[in-house]
Structure formats: structure tokens, C-alpha cells
Structure 1
Amino acid sequence: MIYTYNKEAVGDVLMVTVANAAGNKVEADRKENIARIYVTESNETVGWNFFNASEVLTNLTGNGQVFPTDSEKEQLDQAITKAGFNETIADDRRPKIVSGLVKECVPHPDSDHLSVTQTEVDNGEVLQIVCGAANVREGLNVVVAKPGAMMPDGMIIWPGALRGVESLGMLCSARELAVPNAPEAKGILELPTDYPVGEAFDAANYKL
């Protein structure tokens, strides 16, 4: 679940991305100041637009991705219901850019430069992630962008496949995370070996 707000560039509109609609025809159903974005064929909700959003969330500010509190999320749901929709925002509140541990790393069966990892992200949850970094290896502490994460450059991470192998996230470099003074050299960020697994990663305050 990704919330974005940029009043200067877009206007007073809070955009909520629920799912990846790439490759599908989408339509919008607008009621009052709220529009539900859905896939035409399946009727799956993939997003919400809140017009005049500051009337719903009076303290709304930001210039990109924003993170509503639980109380603000409830206000958005109430606005959706009041407008006449029969569903609310199904929101996973867990952080999407977290520290992880590469539990297994094997060569990709159809590539000479990709690796297939099994990476733990929290409380035993393991994601299969395909990675092209030369320094990826078993036992490495890393930063993982889970499905639904928005990177600093605006790219959204969705489940996908690389050369036929499922990949459920991305192992990140310092540059991709916008870590201050990130090196130009390629490769994923290597965290200290005692870095706790599953913590939200604070790139702005991370010291290389």
C-alpha cells in the first residue's frame, strides 16, 4: 500500500496505490471526491484517489510518499464509506524496506550473472529474490525492498520474474536507497553481521 501526495505538482490529491495494474485496462468510479481505480476485466481495486484530500486529513503535507497514521487511515476509510463505496483500504502497515539476511544463494538456472536467493525479512518470513549484484552471497545482511515498497526515485517494487524465476522483492544498493555519501561502485549494501533482521531501514540516518 503506497500513499503519495504532492500538492504543488498534482494538486490536493492523495493517491493510494493498492496493486500493480500494469498490462491491464483500468477504469475509475468516482463518487463525490473519491475515485476507485479498478481493473476493467476483474473489477479488482488497484488504487484510490482522494480529491481535496486536505479536507479529510487536515494535517496532510508531503512531497512524495507519505505515511498516514492509524487514525488518519481510519479517517480515509470513513470517507470512502460516506461516499458510498462498499469497501475500504486493505492496508498492510508493516514497513516495506527492511533489513534482511540471505539464507541461501544459488546461481540462476538461465543466467550467468544472476543469483536466486532465499532471504529472511522478519520472524522467519523468507522471500525468494533474484539478484544481479556480484557481491550477493549466503550469510550476508542486506536491505530488502519488499513488494509494495516505493524507492526514493519513485519506483514501486512488485512481484515479478527474471528469466522465468519468481522474484518477490529487491536487494538494494546504497545508491538505490539514497543513503548519504553512497559510493558509485555497483553492488548491494552490506550491513554489519550483527544487524537485526526485520527492522525498518532508515536510509537517511545510516552511516556508511
Structure 2
Amino acid sequence: MNIFYNQNGVGDVLLVQLTTERPENREIESNKDITLIIDEATKKIVAFNVFNASTYVKVEADGQVETTEEIVGQLQEALKSNGIELELDVDLTPKFVVGHVITKEKHPNADKLSVCTVDVGNETLQIVCGAPNVDAGQKVVVAKVGAVMPSGMVIRDAELRGIASSGMICSAKELGIPNAPVEKGIMVLSEDATPGEPFTM
């Protein structure tokens, strides 16, 4: 789940994305203060908007809103009070974590890409990476599927030149870290960093 709020730009509206998938065709259903966005093909609710949001949810952020148990509970009540039967099943695990690059192989279809397996604590991800300095053995920052980058880009499962990729190994610039190096390349963490631990910017 990704939540956005920009009172100056959009008004008192909370934008809630339930999936990183982008449906080709969407249906819109409204009931009181809730508007549902539905994938026309699957009939699944992929997002919803909460109008008059400040009457339902305590939000101080301007932009992306941190998804917490409290916020999810308030959203669940907002749906219920507007007659919407939708159970929110939300993954509250961190989306920016320390990763350990276990293997790095040359991409079979692209000279400048590498295929990496990365331990992120509770699972191992296959991530296609274009950084020239990525290598096996490094501790790195991984943006998992569902993460929202400082640029606003949402990380999705992807396929790069025919190879599946789940997540992104990040550079300091991509993470919005002040005084990030100009040179292309991922940010390498100290060796004592623990895979799976949250990375905070």
C-alpha cells in the first residue's frame, strides 16, 4: 500500500494505491467520500481516494504518507463508514532494506547490465542492476517492490531485456541523499550492515 496526500496541490484528498500494477482499463465507483479504482479485467480494487480526508485520517505529511498500523486502521474505518466492504491486507514491512549481494552474473542480453541475487534477510531477490560498481559480497541498499523512491517512482516487479527483476539496488543519488556522488554507481554500505535491516534516509 502506498498513500499520498498533498493538500496544496490536490486538496483534502488521500490517494491510496493497493497494488503496484497498472491496469490497462479502469472502472470508477463512488460512494459518499470514497472513490474506488477497479481493474476492468480482474474486477479487483487497485486504488481508492478518500475525500474530506482530514475528517477520517490524521495526516501531517505533504507527499508520501508513512503506512502505519494506525493509518491502516483509520482507513479501514473510513471505508466502513462510507459503506465500502473492503478488508485492507497491508504489508507493513520496511521497503528500503540492507541487502547482501550473493552473486553477480553478466546479463545474457545486455552488456551493461548485471543479474544479481541479493539476500534481504527473509528472502533472496533477483535484481537486474546497471551500476558499473556492483559486485558480489557487497552490502547495499535495496528498494523492494512497493517502495516509493524520492523521485515518486514506485518500484514494481519488472522484466529487463527478458530477465525478471524484483527490486532495485540503489545509488545515493536515487535515495535523495545530500551531496551524493556525481559518478554513476550504487551506494556500498559497511561490511557489518545486516541484511534485512531497515535503511532510513
Q: What TM-score comes out, normalization by structure 2 length?
A: 0.96
Contact 2:68 2:92 in 1 (8 A): no
Structure 2 residue runs without a partner (length 5+)? none
- Kindly state the Cα deviation for residue 18 of structure 1 after the two structures are TM-superposed: 1.3
Aligned to 1:7: 7
CA spacing shift, 1:143–1:67, aligned 2, 3 Å:
same
How does 1:105-120 map onto structure 2 within 5 Å? Answer: 105-120=104-119
Q: What TM-score comes out, normalization by structure 1 length?
A: 0.93
Aligned to 2:45: 45
- Kindly state the Cα deviation for residue 93 of structure 1 after the two structures are TM-superposed: 0.2
Aligned to 1:200: 198
In 2, distance between residues paired with 1:71 and 1:150? Answer: 20
- Kindly state the Cα deviation for residue 147 of structure 1 after the two structures are TM-superposed: 0.5
- Kindly state the Cα deviation for residue 87 of structure 1 after the two structures are TM-superposed: 1.3
In 2, distance between residues paired with 1:139 and 1:160? Answer: 24
CA RMSD of aligned residues (A): 1.2
- Kindly state the Cα deviation for residue 23 of structure 1 after the two structures are TM-superposed: 5.2
Contact 1:21 1:39 in 2 (8 A): no
Aligned to 1:160: 158
In 2, distance between residues paired with 1:201 and 1:109? Answer: 31
| Aligned length in residues | 201
Per-residue deviation, residues 95-149 of structure 1 (Å, max 9, x unmatched): 11111111111111111111111111123x1111000111111111000010000
The sequence identity of aligned pairs, in percent, is: 43
Please tell me the residue identity of whatever aligns with 2:82.
A
Contact 1:119 1:129 in 2 (8 A): yes
- Kindly state the Cα deviation for residue 90 of structure 1 after the two structures are TM-superposed: 2.0
Query: After the TM superposition, which segments of 4 or more aligned residues of structure 1 sit over 3 Å from their partners?
Result: none
In 1, distance between residues paired with 2:169 and 2:151? Answer: 15
In 1, distance between residues paired with 2:141 and 2:74? Answer: 32
In 1, distance between residues paired with 2:165 and 2:56? Answer: 37
Aligned to 1:206: none
How does 1:103-142 map onto structure 2 within 5 Å? Answer: 103-123=102-122, 125-142=123-140
SS across alignment from 2:189: coil
In 1, distance between residues paired with 2:136 and 2:86? Answer: 43
Structure 1 residue runs without a partner (length 5+)? 204-208
In 2, distance between residues paired with 1:191 and 1:72? Answer: 32
How does 1:44-123 map onto structure 2 within 5 Å? Answer: 44-57=44-57, 59-123=58-122
Per-residue deviation, residues 151-194 of structure 1 (Å, max 9, x unmatched): 00101000010001000011000000011211111000000111
Contact 1:146 1:168 in 2 (8 A): yes
In 2, distance between residues paired with 1:74 and 1:23? Answer: 26
- Kindly state the Cα deviation for residue 197 of structure 1 after the two structures are TM-superposed: 1.3
Name which of 181, 184, 189 aligns with 2:182: 184
Please tell me the residue identity of whatever aligns with 1:16.
V
